[in-house]
Amino acid sequence: MSDLLEIRNFTLDIDTFDGPVHVLKNINLTVKRGETLGIVGESGSGKTVLVRSILGIGPKRSRTVDGSIAFDGIDLSTLSDVEWKKIRGVRISMIFQDPMTYLNPLFTIGQQIGDVIAAHGRATGTATTPKARRARSEELLDQVGIPDPARVCDQYPHQLSGGMRQRVLIAMALSGKPDLLIADEPTTALDVTVQAQVLDLINELVEKLNLTVIMISHDVGAIATVAKRCAVMYHGEIVEEGETVDILRAPRHDYTRKLLAAVPDIDAPLDLQQAPTASAPLLEVKDLSKVYATRSGGEVRAVDAVDFSVAKGEILGIVGESGSGKSTIARLVLRLIEPTGGQVIFDGQDITGLSGEPLRLMRRHMQLVFQNPHSALNGRHTIGDAIGEPFRIQSKLSRRDIDAEVDRLLDIVQLPRLFRYRYPHELSGGQKQRVCIARAVALNPKLLLLDEPTSALDVSVQAQVLAFLRELREELDLTYVFISHDLAVVRELCDRVLVMNRGRIVEQGKTADIFNAPNEDYTRGLLASARKTSKSAFTSVEAA
């Protein structure tokens, strides 16, 4: 196979107030036609900057210090804006990390795909009609496995699940019939069954369309599923490159070994610690329901007659597919949305009917870490302002004392204190999630609800955050409700597990019982999907 992409001695700097930062250092990489290359590494290692540089959309104030990037024999650094329009999105396309960020909530799916098709047509001098764009949009949606494409074309992004939105982004990326497809964390925040479907889809598209793919991920299991060859990045450098199976089984570099050691294993022996018990639970949820009315006059039961309790000091895990009601439960407990029926009893008090000042004071003791750190942080506020906000709202601390608390919290989540002066767009996804966790624990709450808190984190940072959460529970006597699609993480962290499907609890019990001997077919299906990309799976197979 001939080389489609060739990167030679590529070095990139970003100019900052403190001087130039070496983001990429002497990168050498080739990608052959028809192959899938995986790139793994921690947040901030330079993975996304590298692939954005291939597309000519690198960070602001960035400059190439040395080296070149050649695509199909074309030196990309010499292209004009007009020439880039014939390459970007047409011959080289990218699936971005967060579908909700890149889909416009005001336009239908069909309109947005049609706009991309029209833009490609203008760039290549090919006229398209609205009817042709609509037909092509439906064809693309069918190609990525979306049922009833005509109906989905008329829907809006908020009406689709996370997995469906990710498929829409893949459809958009395929609209220009690219030679090279770049997938930036395409399975982030997806539940295990949808993740498996998306990875299978990428493999099918490579085979069917003869695509060349570069896939970025902090999930080494996902990389092993689709990429025969991979490169490991650390601090802007490629520290190891080779066959994926060889690297995963016998890593040569210390960093790669540490990276793999941090991956939780769904089949590892459980640490059977005695789960905390208490005469009175901290949180009780009784017959909790949330029903939404539809335009057609029907109803959707997002949460349906849910009952569970959480003891003081316990970690309860909630798992299930997208749309099963996990996040809705967290918002109902905090009264961010109003329940249709049932009770939420916190620390012996029924908070279902609270409002105004009593509810505000109660929320001091109940905090939520949101799933998406990109939208959870205000882009106009510095990191210091974001972390200090709970103190300004819920305390009478002086500005100096708040500044000291912000520094303490940055130390806890292992971020440099100078980050207090940065804005969210200057941080990686993993760094932003750590800021969100710092803000949530600022007021020493009794109950912390964590909605997919590690979905945006690479495995090494995830391991640090999980260790930090354990330490914090011991130090502050915290209680956690931990919502996650990562079953290996839930297995490692949680004392008990609650399994949800279509708004109902289908199974709950001790972690060891649920993972070792599940009673329900649905739970067994989740575990089977998780094991496809588990640590034990990719270290025991002969090929990706």
In a domain, 453, yes or no: no
Comparison of pLDDT for 536 and 502, the residue scoring more: 502
Q: 56 near 88, Cβ under 8 Å?
A: yes
Task: Tell me, yes or no, whether 307 and 354 share the same domain.
Answer: yes
Q: What is the pLDDT of residues 181-209, one digit of tens each?
A: 999 888 876 777 778 888 888 999 888 88
Q: How far apart (Å, rounded) are the C-alpha atoms in residues 315 and 479?
A: 6
Beta strand ranges found along 434-490 (DSSP E):
447-451, 479-483
Shared-domain flag, residues 526 and 401: no
Q: Mean pLDDT, to the nearest integer, of 12-26?
A: 83
The last residue of one of the domains, among 444, 465, 497, is 444
Instruction: Answer yes or no: is 513 within a domain.
Output: yes
Q: What is the mean pLDDT of residues 254-258?
A: 91
Measure Cα distances from 39 to 72, 394, 488, 493 in Å: 20, 43, 22, 28
Residue 122 has pLDDT above 90, yes or no: no
What is the four-CA torsion angle of 300, 304, 309, 313, rounded to 10 degrees?
Answer: -20
CATH code of 116's domain: 3.40.50.300
pLDDT digits (tens, 9 = 90+) for 329-366: 999 999 999 999 999 999 989 999 888 888 888 888 99
The confidence score (pLDDT) of residue 427 equals 85
- Same domain as 126, residue 105: yes
Check pLDDT > 90 for residue 124: no
Residue 350 lies in a domain: yes
Q: Is the confidence at residue 35, as pLDDT, over 80? A: yes
What is the separation, in whole angstroms, between the first and last Cα of the chain?
19
Distance CA(206)–CA(177), nearest Å, equals 12
Report for 86-95, 117-126, 158-167: range of highest mean pLDDT: 86-95
pLDDT at 541 over 50: no
Q: Which of 399, 422, 444 is the last residue of a domain?
A: 444
What are the phi and psi torsion angles at 384 (to 5°)? -60, -40
Same-domain pairing of 136 and 252: yes
Contacts for 26 with CB less than 8 Å, ≥ 6 apart? 9, 10, 11, 66, 67, 237
**Is pLDDT at 272 greater than 60 in this prediction?**
no
Residues 471, 467: Cα–Cα separation, whole Å: 6
Please determine, for residue 278, whether its predicted confidence score (pLDDT) is greater than 60: no
Q: Using CA atoms, how far apart are residues 388 and 240, in angstroms rounded to an integer?
A: 40
Residue 24 resides in a domain: yes
Choose between 433 and 303: higher pLDDT.
303
Residue from 138, 136, 177 nearest 155 by CA: 138
On average, the pLDDT of the chain sits at: 87
Residues 349, 229 within the same domain: no
Please write the tens of the pLDDT for every residue from 439-450. Answer: 988 888 899 999
User: What is the mean pLDDT of the segment spanning 120-133?
Assistant: 84
For residue 135, is pLDDT > 90? Answer: yes
Looking at residue 425, its amino acid is H
Q: Which of the pair, 161 or 48, is modelled with greater confidence?
A: 48
**CA nearest 71: which of 53, 58, 97?**
53
d(CA 115, CA 90): 13
pLDDT at 102 over 60: yes
Query: Is residue 267, in this structure, part of any structural domain at all?
Result: no
Digit-coded pLDDT (tens) for 287-334: 999 998 877 788 888 899 999 999 998 999 999 887 788 889 999 999
Instruction: Judge if 38 and 97 occupy the same domain.
Output: yes
Residue with tokens 């050498």: 28
DSSP state, 269? P
CA distances from 355 to 363, 394, 484 (A): 11, 16, 29
20 & 99 share domain: yes
What percentage of the chain has pLDDT greater than the value 70? 96
- pLDDT tier at 41, thresholds 50, 70, 90: confident
449 assigned to some structural domain:
no
The residue with tokens 């930036």 is 184
Which pLDDT tens digit goes with each residue over 400-431?
999 999 999 998 788 899 999 999 988 876 78
355 and 376, same structural domain?
no
* pLDDT on residue 242: 93
Same domain, 349 and 337: yes
**Same-domain pairing of 24 and 82:** yes
Check whether residue 313 and residue 410 sit in a common domain. Answer: no
Predicted confidence (pLDDT) at residue 542 exceeds the cutoff of 50: no
Q: Are residues 160 and 305 in the same domain?
A: no
With cut-offs at 50, 70 and 90, classify the pLDDT of residue 544: very low
**pLDDT at residue 468, as a whole number:** 78
Cβ burial of 254 (10 Å; 0-12, 13-18, 19+) is: exposed
Give the mean model confidence (pLDDT) for residues 99-126.
88
Task: Map residue 184 onto helix, strand or coil.
Answer: strand
- Give the structural domain span for 298: 282-364+477-538
Inside any domain, residue 117:
yes
Compute CA 306 distance to the chain's CA centroid, rounded to the nearest angstrom. Answer: 27
If we measure between CA atoms, which residue out of 123, 135, 153, 2 comes closest to residue 73? 2
Of 421, 444, 467, the position where a domain reaches its end is: 444
459, part of any domain? no
Number of domains the chain is built from: 3
